[in-house]
Amino acid sequence: MIDPIKTLTVADAVAEKILNMLSKGELKWGQKLNSQRDLARVLNVGVSSIREGLQILQAMGFVKIKQGAGTYITENNSVPLSKFINLSIYSETNIRDLMEAREVLDVGVAVLSSKKADGEDIRKMDIYLDKLENSVRNKTPDYYQYDLEFHSALVKSTKNPFLEKFSYVLHASLENFIKSVEHTLKGVEMHREILDRIKERNAIGARDAMLALLKHTRRIYLEYAYKKERKNSNEKSIN
């Protein structure tokens, strides 16, 4: 069992809820939100949590708080997609959907990399995996960055710019989870298995190794999401 390092605050949950309402069309771009007191009553949380949640959204560019005039969803909906997803996936259902999308993409990337990766691509992936392993062994906080860099080098090895863009959105969306769960040497070994199969130009082996890693990762993220949801429920009942 892997324990999470971070927990989701009530303010984070408020921001997530508003983003989910926006993504479902329950809120519209440019719309004025209800008063903080009304939002607190509807969401069954304290006014201070509403205020902090709105401040999070304002910092991200999703809302504008006008002194004496209320809070508005921004007119400009060009906030990067990675930010939008990044805060709005703290549920088991959304994690399953996102990991399903990642499976479709990353498995194809692994197969294509086994055919197109050149010596420089493989050298970079080796370097990032060595750094990831050292970071995990020494328990330094930058392990998540090396994980992202490995996957970035992996998708770049496909020589397909469209895959790079799609992969960036998916992996940036999972950044909070990558930062928040503890990486293990088992995970590092599974990454090396993928790279070893790529070095062998073994497309089927690369596919199977990636599927194994994603299955392992999905279990960890679902455990993490479940703990977050249970903690949020307990905090709301206290408020």
Residue 218, domain member (yes or no): yes
Please give the tally of structural domains in the chain. Answer: 2
Of 79, 104, 136, the residue at which a domain comes to its end is 79
Residue 30, domain member (yes or no): yes
Of 54, 79, 104, the residue at which a domain comes to its end is 79
Q: Show Cβ contacts of residue 99 under 8 Å, excluding neighbours closer than 6 positions.
A: 214, 217, 218, 221
By the 8 A CB rule, do 191 and 129 touch? yes
CA–CA distances in Å: residue 205 to residues 53, 92, 138, 183: 45, 29, 30, 23
Could you tell me if 115 and 51 lie in one domain? no
The pTM of this model reads 0.63
Give the pLDDT score at 130: 97
Could you tell me if 75 and 114 lie in one domain? no
Residue 124, domain member (yes or no): yes
Q: Which amino acid is at 177?
A: F
| Cα-to-chain-centroid distance, residue 116 | 27
Give the pLDDT score at 1: 38
By the 8 A CB rule, do 163 and 109 touch? yes
CA dihedral 46, 50, 56, 62 (to 10 degrees): 160
Residue 26, domain member (yes or no): yes
Instruction: Give me the CATH number covering residue 54.
Output: 1.10.10.10
The per-residue pLDDT string of the chain (239 residues; one tens digit each, 9 = 90 and over) reads 343 434 568 888 888 888 878 767 788 888 999 999 999 999 999 999 999 989 888 877 788 998 888 999 987 555 555 555 554 545 666 778 888 989 999 999 999 999 999 999 999 999 999 999 999 999 887 888 899 899 999 999 999 989 988 887 787 767 666 666 777 899 999 999 999 999 999 999 999 999 999 999 888 888 877 776 666 555 555 55
| Cα-to-chain-centroid distance, residue 213 | 16
Give the pLDDT score at 77: 52
Instruction: Give me the CATH number covering residue 129.
Output: 1.20.120.530
By the 8 A CB rule, do 154 and 148 touch? no
DSSP string, 16-75: HHHHHHHHTTSS-TTPBPPPHHHHHHHHTS-HHHHHHHHHHHHHHTSEEEETTTEEEE-S
For the record, the structure tokens of 34 come out as 């209800």
User: Which of 228, 152, 233, 135 minimizes the C-alpha distance to 188?
Assistant: 135
The whole domain housing 149 covers: 82-230
Could you tell me if 91 and 155 lie in one domain? yes
Could you tell me if 18 and 119 lie in one domain? no
Could you tell me if 108 and 206 lie in one domain? yes
Of 57, 79, 101, the residue at which a domain comes to its end is 79
List 72's β-bridge partners, or say none.
32, 64
Buried b (16+ CB within 10 A) or exposed e, 31-50: eebeebeebbeebebbeebb
